[in-house]
Amino acid sequence: MALALPRPHRDDVRIAVGGLLGGVLLWALGLHPRVPSAPVVLCAAHWAPLVPLAVTAACEPLRRTRPRFALLVGTLALTADTVTVGNIATVVLYTDLMYAAVLYGTPASARRIPWITGLLTVLGGVVPAALWRDPAALLIGVGVGVVALAPAATGWVVRDHRDAAETARLRAEQTALLAEMDRVQAVTAERARMARELHDMVANHLSAIAIHSTAALSIDDPRTSRDALTVIRENSVDGLAEMRRLIGILRDSGGGLEPAATPTLDGLATLVEGARTNGLTIRLDADHGQVPAPVELAAYRIVQESLTNALKHAAPGPVRVCLRQAERTLHVQITSPYRRGDGPRAPGSGSGLTGMRERAALLGGDFTAGPVAGLWSVRATLPLTGTEGDRP
């Protein structure tokens, strides 16, 4: 099976062709960096510089895909070029191979090549000067530095900047990804909040409608049916008003309607009165002062959902709503007669307790619900300080 070599970059092919043609032109014009010791005309010595030139140019298409191999072959070609009259294009092409070996090679090669070329530059200047006792021998080190160290150092600088740019790009992508994740989480949290608000606002009215419509259908009494239809109409109107208010909040881009539309504990009396209209016997015992807006909204919604659950699940009997404010805590408790065995008198989503528990947890409070001594008890402890902001 034949070995498939990677396709060279078109720019590398252009460099190779341009360098080869330029070198041939310099050779044809007789422009050589070194003067031969004797005149040569169309002999082997005259054609010799073209061989290292061709080999070096042939290495250029490999400068990105096989940079170390191209540098090794190019070094051998440059060494062979030193025993001929030479060609400037061969030297220029070799410096490009040195630059590419650092830029496109492995990280290990990129670290080692500048050190090796630096060491060769020092040795190329110091050793000949020490052996020949001639300061002019230092020019050998200068030549090695220009041909090897300078392109290697340039490749290292360019590679370092390229790696830094790649790191910055990856960091920007990571930041954008984290921002997108935060946005998705914020949208999800907002949707959950809206779902809780919608459930708490509408569930009470729809439960009352379901119960009274069942009574109107099952009892053949015009007066009872009329009373049930009156309650159904009132709850329908109130439910539509709550829906319209929520839609208005969502449509308001500035959020200016939200504070006015947020229920407060001052509205508990109206809430309890509506529940009494739906057939519950309720005793309200509220003793509290000024509380933060998030706590106020959470307490209102917990009472509202508890009354809805009492309407759907509780046995006949009194329901008690109690609010007590301690030094830094608001205690909310709702008790209703516990009814075992039978299903609810109205269908529900089953998310009421979950919503109340989430509201208490968001404020760092505690929530419990369950049967206690023949009663269904809902207890919530909401701290008045350390809440997550003042938004509802």
Q: Which tokens hold the place of 38?
A: 């004797």
pLDDT at 331: 92
Helix (H, G, I), strand (E, B) or coil at 348: coil
The partner residues of 371 in beta bridges, in order of sequence, read 376
- Sign of the torsion angle spanned by Cα atoms 341, 346, 348, 353: negative
Q: Which tokens hold the place of 386?
A: 């350390």
Helix (H, G, I), strand (E, B) or coil at 96: helix
The DSSP element (H or E) to which 352 belongs, if any, is: helix 352-362
The DSSP element (H or E) to which 323 belongs, if any, is: strand 318-325
Contacts of 26 (CB under 8 A, 6+ apart): 32, 87, 88, 89
pLDDT at 4: 58
Cβ proximity of 12 and 63 under 8 Å:
yes
d(CA 89, CA 96): 11
Helix (H, G, I), strand (E, B) or coil at 379: strand
Amino acid at 27: W
Average pLDDT, consecutive stretches of 10 residues, N- to C-terminus, the chain (392 residues): 68 92 90 64 68 94 93 93 90 94 92 92 83 77 89 94 92 86 78 68 67 65 68 69 65 46 78 80 85 86 85 83 89 86 51 80 88 88 66 40
pLDDT at 219: 65
Question: Could you tell me where the DSSP H helices lie in the chain?
Answer: 10-29, 44-47, 50-59, 67-81, 88-104, 107-132, 138-144, 150-218, 222-251, 258-261, 268-277, 293-313, 352-362
pLDDT at 55: 94
Q: Which tokens hold the place of 199?
A: 């459930």
pLDDT at 143: 86
Antiparallel, parallel or unpaired: β 281-287 and 318-325: parallel
Query: How would you classify residue 325: left for phi > 0, otherwise alpha for psi between -120 and 50, otherwise beta?
Result: beta
Amino acid at 63: R
Q: What is the pTM of this model?
A: 0.52
The whole-angstrom distance between residue 218's C-alpha and the CA centroid of its chain comes to 57
d(CA 12, CA 362): 62
| Burial status of residue 78 (CB atoms within 10 A of its CB: 0-12, 13-18, 19 or more) | buried
Cβ proximity of 363 and 389 under 8 Å:
no
**Rounded (5°) CA angle 252-257-262:** 125
pLDDT at 40: 43
d(CA 23, CA 90): 7
Buried b (16+ CB within 10 A) or exposed e, 159-174: beeeeeeeeeeeeeee
Q: Which tokens hold the place of 133?
A: 């006792």
Q: Which tokens hold the place of 210?
A: 């379901």
Residue with tokens 């709503």: 321
Query: Longest Cα pair distance anywhere in the chain, in angstroms?
Result: 134
The partner residues of 264 in beta bridges, in order of sequence, read none
Whose CA is closest to 308, among 349, 277, 356, 352? 352
Cβ proximity of 197 and 245 under 8 Å:
no
Q: Which tokens hold the place of 391?
A: 């938004």
d(CA 56, CA 88): 12
